[in-house]
């Protein structure tokens, strides 16, 4: 996702909507008496070290999953052999590598349940994830939904893991909930996405973009379908180092530009999605520069004397407001999830990575505009 900086800029609107969203459940009607069936599709490529935990988290759900399909996209390790050890898990192995999107579409033809879930092979779900998923789909007429994503305890790089704790809890307790309130969810996260099966079979997983989850989310919302959040957690592995982190976010930014190019003016013809995308673009194109100026003033504070002394207070106030926005109510959610220590330690790293995000965003934008070194690659 593009860098949302600073927290008190245009996304303050989404922030306020996110806070208001905590009142909405009080007015929801009781769900109808319908018990949805669900199939889980797990696309995997060389995931022998991770897929065990993913499958066990699916098999140990408080609500039973009807079937689990692992699609091995031509792995050259023991991914298929590990998956076959589990009773009730069907392994579909591609004779040659076809990519994540095509792998999911291949498995989708075998699904006959009401709902279908796409779970990355390095993602672990909380035990009540499916139960909460079914409740969400019963309460609301939605086509797709995803849970809250948090860093896995198995992530090797502790610095990035802690920074992502801050980023994830900030975005998902306020910004994403605000997007959900206006039915303009920016993306249904691909690592733990759930769809009504008949709708996903109609659209299929896009195969021509870098971020198939973003592409599909926009297609659904542009056609008037409702997307939503599931109040449940899924943990996933974070990049192992700054290099992998930059590669990951650059891929996301490329995918964002791909989707803008693919959907064109249609993105600005759907009021909810237009609202979300417009805020993000303003945030990225204008307020990243504003934030860079604040950081520049922070560095130059020792030199701000006499007539320029007031700028010190300006910098302090801006940083203070930003910190408050980030921490409230994310810190409450972090406390409830038992990761308050990681949240606190991750704050300074989070601010450093926001500077990295901004730099990578602008580099990617310039490359996209001038076509420097850009290859539109597919996922997997």
Give per-residue pLDDT as tens, 289-303. Answer: 776 776 676 667 666
| HSE value, Cβ hemisphere, 13 Å, CA-based, for 284 | 22
Helix, strand, coil in percent for the chain, rounding step 5: 55, 15, 30
Residue 214: CB atoms within 10 A of its CB come to 22
pLDDT score at 188: 93
pTM of the model: 0.86
16-27 per-residue burial string, b: 16 or more CB within 10 A, e: under 16: ebbbebeeeeee
By three-state DSSP, how is residue 326 classified?
A: helix
By three-state DSSP, how is residue 16 classified?
A: helix
Beta strands at 38-44 and 115-119: parallel, antiparallel or unpaired? parallel
pLDDT score at 284: 81
pLDDT score at 343: 92
pLDDT score at 21: 59
Is 176 exposed, middle or buried, given 0-12, 13-18 or 19+ CB atoms closer than 10 A? buried
If you write DSSP's letter for every residue of 242-303 in order, what string do you get?
HHHHHHHHHHHHHHHHHHHHHHGGGGGSSHHHHHHHHHHHHIIIIIHHHHHHHHHHHHTGGG
Distances in Å between the Cα of 117 and the Cα atoms of 58, 94, 374 are 11, 20, 32
Cβ(185)–Cβ(229) below 8 Å: yes
Q: Supply the DSSP symbol for 307.
A: G
End-to-end CA distance of the chain: 18
Tell me the pLDDT tens digit for each residue of 192-201.
Answer: 999 999 999 9
Tell me the pLDDT tens digit for each residue of 320-357.
Answer: 777 777 787 788 888 888 889 999 999 999 988 888 88
Question: Structural domain boundaries of the chain?
Answer: 1-28+140-380
Mean pLDDT by 10 residues, the chain (380 residues): 48 62 54 76 94 95 94 92 93 92 94 95 94 86 91 91 91 83 86 95 93 94 91 92 93 91 87 84 78 69 64 72 78 85 92 87 88 52
pLDDT score at 193: 94
* Residue 124: strand pairing partners: 235
Chain centre distance of CA 294? 28
Cβ(114)–Cβ(197) below 8 Å: yes
Q: Please state, in angstroms and rounded to a whole number, the distance separating the CA atoms of residues 365 and 254.
A: 8
Please name which of 161, 259, 271 lies closest in space to residue 218, comparing C-alpha atoms: 259
């Amino acid at each position: 996702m593009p860098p949302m900086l600073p927290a008190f800029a245009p996304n303050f609107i989404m922030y306020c909507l996110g806070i208001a969203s905590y009142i909405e459940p009080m007015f929801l009607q009781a769900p109808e008496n319908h018990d949805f069936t669900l199939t889980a599709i797990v696309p995997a490529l060389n995931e022998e070290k991770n897929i065990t935990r993913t499958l066990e988290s699916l098999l140990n759900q408080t609500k039973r999953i009807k079937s689990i399909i692992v699609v091995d996209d031509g792995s050259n390790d023991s991914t298929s052999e590990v998956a076959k050890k589990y009773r009730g898990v069907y392994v579909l192995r591609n004779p040659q590598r076809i990519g994540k999107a095509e792998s999911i579409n291949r498995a989708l033809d075998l699904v006959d349940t009401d709902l279908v879930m796409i779970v990355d092979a390095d993602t672990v779900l909380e035990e009540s994830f499916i139960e909460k998923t079914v409740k969400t789909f019963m309460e609301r007429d939605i086509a797709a939904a995803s849970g809250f994503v948090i860093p896995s305890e198995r992530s090797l790089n502790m610095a990035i893991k802690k920074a992502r704790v801050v980023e994830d809890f900030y975005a998902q307790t306020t910004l994403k909930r605000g997007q959900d309130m206006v039915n303009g969810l920016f993306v249904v996260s691909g690592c733990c996405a759930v769809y009504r099966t008949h709708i996903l079979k109609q659209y299929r997983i896009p195969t021509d973009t870098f971020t198939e989850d973003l592409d599909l989310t926009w297609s659904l919302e542009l056609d008037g379908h409702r997307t939503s959040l599931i109040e449940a957690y899924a943990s996933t592995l974070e990049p192992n180092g700054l290099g992998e982190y930059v590669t990951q976010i650059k891929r996301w930014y490329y995918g964002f530009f791909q989707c803008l190019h693919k959907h064109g003016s249609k993105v600005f013809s759907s009021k909810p999605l237009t609202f979300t995308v417009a805020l993000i673009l303003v945030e990225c194109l204008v307020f990243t520069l504003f934030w860079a100026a604040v950081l520049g003033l922070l560095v130059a504070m020792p030199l701000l004397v006499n007539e320029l002394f007031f700028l010190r207070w300006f910098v302090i106030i801006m940083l203070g407001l930003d910190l408050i926005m980030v921490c409230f109510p994310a810190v409450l959610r972090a406390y409830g999830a038992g990761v308050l220590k990681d949240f606190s330690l991750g704050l300074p790293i989070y601010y450093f990575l926001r500077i990295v995000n901004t730099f990578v965003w602008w580099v990617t934008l310039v490359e996209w505009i001038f076509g420097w070194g850009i290859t539109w690659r597919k996922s997997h």
